[in-house]
Amino acid sequence: MRWTALSAGLLLVFVLGCDQSEGIKEIQPNFGNISGKDDVVLLGKGFKTGLTVTFGKQQATHIVVESDTKIRLKTPAGPEGVVDIYVTDASGKTIMLKGAFTYRRAGSS
């Protein structure tokens, strides 16, 4: 995580940066049904047991951390459209992949 101090004394936190070693790099597939329960794989780095995964504001289920680079899970139900994905570890540290998943109605492409 990089910190940048501004002259006014404020701090900006960049959660995901190009050179950051931890984070979500890819989601497979990056779309699913609004009813949820789709099997999804998150690829990245720094994943540990005890984490939570959130699609928009809804928490995923059946989360299995297979390695520090791979998570398997079932999507929660969600509204039609694009959502961000958040991974939060046991210490409260959160990483995010913006606009990473698209919920679709059954039969739409």
- According to CATH, the superfamily of the domain at 25-104 is Immunoglobulins (2.60.40.10)
Average pLDDT, whole number, for the chain? 84
Q: Tokens at residue 13, please? A: 């936190």
Q: How confident is the model at residue 106 (pLDDT cuts 50, 70, 90)?
A: confident
List the domain boundaries for the chain.
25-104
Average pLDDT rounded to a whole number, residues 76-92: 95
CA atoms within 13 A on the CB side of 13: 6
Cβ atoms 41, 29 nearer than 8 A: no
Cβ atoms 35, 107 nearer than 8 A: no
What is the per-residue pLDDT across 21-33, written as a single tens digit (0 to 9) for each?
788 999 999 999 9
